[in-house]
Structure 1
Amino acid sequence: MSEVKSSMPRGEIKALTGLRGVAALYVVLFHANGLHAFPQMVRPFVHHGYMAVDLFFLLSGFVMALTYADLFRDGFDFGNFKKFLLLRLARIYPLYILVTLITAVMITTVLADTYHFDDNVLRALPFNLTMTHVWGLAYAIVPPSWSISTEWAAYLLFPLTIMVAVWLPRRYAVAGVGLAFAVLAAVAFGPYWMTRHHHMHGTLDVVHSYAPGTTLRCLASFYIGLVAFRFRERIPPFAAILALIAALVLLCFKSTDLGLVAVFAVLIMALSHDKGPVARVLQNPVIYWLGIVSYALYLVHDLIQKIILKSFPAWGLSGGLTRGEWVWVSVAVSLGVAALAHYAFEKPSRRWARALFLRDAKPASPSPVPAE
C-alpha cells in the first residue's frame, strides 16, 4: 500500500475552521434569499450560496482523511469502523436530534399555519431521527439536514473510500476523482429522475429527498476531499489567493458548479498549511468564531428565518421594519441562538456522548476543524 507523508500543522487548522464559518454564513444568506429579494447587484452571488454546502462536503472529506485515515491503513477493521462511527455520532447527533425534535413540535403546533412541510411529520420523524431520510425515505424536517443525511451515507462508506483515496496506489485515487467528477456531471446535467426538479438555482442545486442525485452530490465531493488530503503538499499556501479569486468570480456566474468544486478543493489544500494572507484573514477571531459555531448555525438558522420572515408578517408583527431589515435581524438572531446552542448544549452533549459511546476510547488524532 502507498505511504502518505505529512507535514501538516499540529493541532487545529484554524484557517479551515474560519473557512467553514464563512461557508455557513453564506448558506444563511442563501436561504434568506428565498424569503427576501436581495439587490440585483449581489443577487447572482447570493443565488450561488448552495455551493457552500459542496464546500462543506469537500472540507468534511479532507478532515475525515486527516483525522481518521490511519484507522484503516491496514484495511477494514470492524473495531476501528465502530469507533469511527461512534465518534461521528458523538460529534453530530446530540444537537441534530434536539433541533429536529424542536422543529417537529413547532411545525405541528405554533407554526402549523405558516411552515409548509411536504410530508406527514409523524411518518417522516423516524427516518429523520436515524439520518436516513434523504435516502429516498422522507422529507427533511429541518431542511438543511438533507446534507447531514447524505454525509451519514459517506461515513458508512468511509472504510472503502479512504482506502481508494489514500492507501491504494495513486492511480486508483486519481481514477476515483475522474469518476467523482463524472458523477457530479451526471447530477448537474443528467435526466430528471436524477434530481426530481429542474435545478432551482444552478446545476448542482439538488436537494430532493427522493432523488439519487442528492446523495451522489455529497459522496462525489466528499471523495474529492479525501483525495485532496492525499495530494495537499502539491499545492503551496500562496495558491489560496488565486483559488479564492477564481471562486469569487465563478460564484457570480451560472453553470460554473463543476469548476467551483475543483477550485474549492485547491483552496482547501492551500489553506491546510495554515499559512499565507488568506489563511491569516480566516484566522481572524471573529471569522474563526463563526467556524466554531458553524454546525449550530447551520442547523438552527432555517427555523429562525421561517419564524421571523414568514410567521411574524402573518401574525402582524412587522414592528415597522422593512423586509430587508428583518433579514439582518434574522441573521443576528441566528448567530445568537447558534452561540447559545453551541456552548450550552453542543459542547457538553458531545463530551457526554463520547463518554457514553466510547468510554475511554480516543480518536486517532484531534479533529482539525469542527465537522458538520
Structure 2
Amino acid sequence: MNKAEIKSLTGIRGVAAVYVIIFHWYNHLFHTQPVVSFTPMGQIGHNFIKHGYLAVDLFFSLSAFVLCIASYKLFSEKPTFENYKMFIIKRFFRLFPVYIVLTFLYSLWFDKSSLTNLLINLTLFQGIIPSHSGSIVPPGWSLTNEWVICFVFPFFLYYAVKFRKNAWMLVVMAVAIIILISFVRAHALNWSNSAVLDKVKGFNPNIGYTRGPSSFGRTIASFFLGIFAFLVYKFKDHQGPYFKYLGYLSAPILVLLFVKSADVAVVLLMPILILYVTQANFLNRFLSSKPVHFAGAISYSLYLSHFFFINTYDSVAALLKIDSRLFSLSYVLIATFVFSTITYYCIEKPGIALFKPKPKHKTATNIDLLSEQNKAPAGLKTS
C-alpha cells in the first residue's frame, strides 16, 4: 500500500474539528443571548449543529483507518514485541506533548483540583478511574479512550486481516455495541450524567459527557467501522461495484445531520464516507485544498484548545464591552486557530520528531505510523 499521505483524510479532520468547535460554542455561548422560538428552518439548523458531537465518532473511525494504513505491514502478520513497542511509543509522542502542555494550562487557568487529579490526568488514564473520570482538558475523555485502545489495536488489526473474508462481522459487532449503549443508560455504563441520560427516550447513544464503559463502547464501535473501511479499501478493486456508488451511499449523511435522533444511521454510514473521500472526486479535491488541509493538520490542537477560548469569552466580552453571538463565534474560532497554529509548529511537530528510531527489521522500514500530516487526532475529540 502506498504510504503517501491521503490529503483528503487530513482535510476531513479539519472540517470535523470546526464542526465540534461550533457545537461546543453553541452549547456554551450561543444561549447566553436571548433565545427566541425556532422557526422550522431554525429547528433544522439547530438539529445540524447539535449533531456536532458525532464528529468524534468520525475521528475515531478515521483514526482506525489511518492507523491500519500506517501499520498494516507491521501487524498483518503476528505482531512482534519490537513492532508493538515502537507502535505504542510513536502513539505516545503523537498524543502527549501538546496534551501535557494544555493540561497544565487548563489546570492553572481554570481547574483548582488536587495534585492527585492533575497527575492522573497527565497519564491520560483518568477515564478508566470512576472517581476521576472527568478531564481537566474537557475533550480528554476521548483521548483516554483512544490511548487505551492503542494497546489492543495491533491485535484488532491482526485478527481483522486474518479473518477479512468475514469483515462484515465488524459492522455487526459495532451495531450490537451501539444498541447496547443506546438502551442501557444506567450508572454502571455511564459514570457521569447517568441521571440525565436515564430520562432520554429513544435511540440516541451518543449523548454528550458520558464517561466510563459506555464511552469506551462508542469508541470501539467506531474503531471497528474504521477497520472495516480499511479492509474494503485494501482488498477490494477500487474500480469495482463496491466503489461505484459510494457517492450516492455517503450523501445521506449530510441529510441525516439535519434530522433529530439520526445518530446511529450517521455513524454506520461513516465507513462509506471515508472510502468516498479517498477516491478522485469533487469532495476529495475540496478536502485536499490547502486551507482545508491545513485545518486538518492542526485539528488535534484545535480540538484540545478550543474550550480555553470558550471558557475565557465572558472575561474578554466584559473587557471589550462587546457581547454578541457573532463576536463570540468569531473570537472562539479565530483565537483557537491562531493558538493551534502556534502549538502545532512549536509543540506537536517537535514532539512527533522526538522519537524517530532506526528500524531494525525490514518490515519496520515501512512504518509511517503517523505521517506528518495524515495523523489521527485522538478522538475529537466531543463531549
The alignment's TM-score, normalised by the length of structure 1, stands at 0.86
State the Cα deviation string for residues 73-115 of structure 1 (Å, max 9, x = none). Answer: 221321111010011111111111111111111114xxx6xxx
State the Cα deviation string for residues 300-331 of structure 1 (Å, max 9, x = none). Answer: 111111111x4435xx3252342432222111
User: How far did 1:256 drift?
Assistant: 1.4
Tell whether 2:10 aligns with 1:17: yes
**Sequence identity (%):** 28
1:301 aligned residue: 306
> Is the Cα–Cα contact under 8 Å of residues 53 and 208 in structure 2 kept in the other structure?
no
> Is the Cα–Cα contact under 8 Å of residues 202 and 254 in structure 1 kept in the other structure?
no
Within the candidate set 171, 176, 184, 1:177 is matched to: 171
CA 1:128–1:239 in 2, change beyond 3 Å: closer, same or farther?
farther
C-alpha distance in 2 between matches for 1:237 and 1:339: 36
Within the candidate set 147, 162, 165, 2:160 is matched to: 165
State the Cα deviation string for residues 39-62 of structure 1 (Å, max 9, x = none). Answer: 842211110000000000000000
1:281 aligned residue: 286
State the Cα deviation string for residues 163-194 of structure 1 (Å, max 9, x = none). Answer: 222232422x3223211221111112223232
Structure 1 unaligned blocks of 5 or more: 1-5, 113-119
> Is the Cα–Cα contact under 8 Å of residues 203 and 255 in structure 1 kept in the other structure?
no
2:277 aligned residue: 271
Within the candidate set 74, 86, 106, 2:109 is matched to: 106
1:32 aligned residue: 25
C-alpha distance in 1 between matches for 2:322 and 2:172: 54
1:74 aligned residue: 77
* One-letter identity of the residue aligned with 1:277: F
> Is the Cα–Cα contact under 8 Å of residues 243 and 264 in structure 1 kept in the other structure?
no
Within the candidate set 264, 281, 285, 1:258 is matched to: 264
CA 1:363–1:255 in 2, change beyond 3 Å: closer, same or farther?
farther
> Is the Cα–Cα contact under 8 Å of residues 30 and 48 in structure 1 kept in the other structure?
yes
Relative contact order (C-alpha < 8 Å, sep 6+): which is higher? 2
Tell whether 2:123 aligns with 1:130: yes
2:380 aligned residue: none
Q: Secondary structure at the match of 1:262?
A: helix
User: How far did 1:218 drift?
Assistant: 0.6
Tell whether 2:46 aligns with 1:43: yes
* One-letter identity of the residue aligned with 2:223: F
State the Cα deviation string for residues 4-38 of structure 1 (Å, max 9, x = none). Answer: xx5xx551101111101000110100110112337
The aligned runs of 1:82-101 (5 Å cut-off) are 82-101=85-104
1:219 aligned residue: 220
> Is the Cα–Cα contact under 8 Å of residues 175 and 221 in structure 2 kept in the other structure?
yes
* One-letter identity of the residue aligned with 1:74: E
1:151 aligned residue: 146
Structure 2 unaligned blocks of 5 or more: 378-383
User: How far did 1:207 drift?
Assistant: 3.3
The 10-residue stretch of structure 1 (97-106 or 67-76) with the greater mean CA deviation from structure 2 = 67-76
* Paired residue total: 346
C-alpha distance in 1 between matches for 2:251 and 2:169: 28
> Is the Cα–Cα contact under 8 Å of residues 237 and 276 in structure 1 kept in the other structure?
no
State the Cα deviation string for residues 223-268 of structure 1 (Å, max 9, x = none). Answer: 2101210012467666453345311111112221111112111010
> Is the Cα–Cα contact under 8 Å of residues 3 and 69 in structure 2 kept in the other structure?
no
CA 1:93–1:332 in 2, change beyond 3 Å: closer, same or farther?
same
Q: Secondary structure at the match of 2:334?
A: helix
The aligned runs of 1:295-334 (5 Å cut-off) are 295-308=300-313, 310-312=314-316, 316-334=318-336
> Is the Cα–Cα contact under 8 Å of residues 309 and 331 in structure 2 kept in the other structure?
no
Q: Secondary structure at the match of 2:345?
A: helix
> Is the Cα–Cα contact under 8 Å of residues 240 and 271 in structure 1 kept in the other structure?
no
> Is the Cα–Cα contact under 8 Å of residues 166 and 227 in structure 1 kept in the other structure?
no
C-alpha distance in 2 between matches for 1:102 and 1:363: 37
State the Cα deviation string for residues 179-229 of structure 1 (Å, max 9, x = none). Answer: 1221111112223232343448953124333x3101111111112101210
> Is the Cα–Cα contact under 8 Å of residues 66 and 375 in structure 2 kept in the other structure?
no
C-alpha distance in 1 between matches for 2:339 and 2:83: 35
1:3 aligned residue: none
C-alpha distance in 2 between matches for 1:176 and 1:241: 22
> Is the Cα–Cα contact under 8 Å of residues 301 and 340 in structure 2 kept in the other structure?
yes
Q: Secondary structure at the match of 2:258?
A: coil
CA 1:240–1:28 in 2, change beyond 3 Å: closer, same or farther?
farther
Within the candidate set 232, 241, 256, 2:247 is matched to: 241
* One-letter identity of the residue aligned with 2:215: T
C-alpha distance in 1 between matches for 2:56 and 2:309: 19
Tell whether 2:352 aligns with 1:350: yes
User: How far did 1:70 drift?
Assistant: 1.8
* One-letter identity of the residue aligned with 1:259: A
> Is the Cα–Cα contact under 8 Å of residues 359 and 365 in structure 2 kept in the other structure?
no
